[in-house]
């Protein structure tokens, strides 16, 4: 079951990357995820947690 889940997640990500070529909403989603961890890290550092 875990293998099917991992394959599904991989295919979903691949689909988003392929759709980002022509679809503005998919492109925005991809760019937003690219910087999310840096933004979260910065917010944590600003709060002193």
pLDDT above 70 for 49: no
Give me the pLDDT at residue 10, please: 96
pLDDT at residue 48 greater than cutoff 80: no
Cα–Cα distance, 31 to 36 (Å, whole number):
9
d(CA 4, CA 26): 24
Span 2-12, pLDDT tens digits? 999 999 999 99
How far, in Å, CA of 33 to CA of 49, rounded?
23
Query: pLDDT digits over 14-44, tens only?
Result: 999 999 999 999 999 888 888 888 888 888 8
């Amino acid at each position: 079951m875990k293998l099917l889940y991992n394959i599904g997640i991989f295919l979903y990500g691949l689909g988003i990357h392929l759709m980002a070529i022509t679809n503005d909403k998919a492109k925005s989603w991809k760019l937003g995820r690219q910087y999310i961890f840096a933004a979260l890290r910065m917010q944590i550092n600003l709060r002193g947690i």
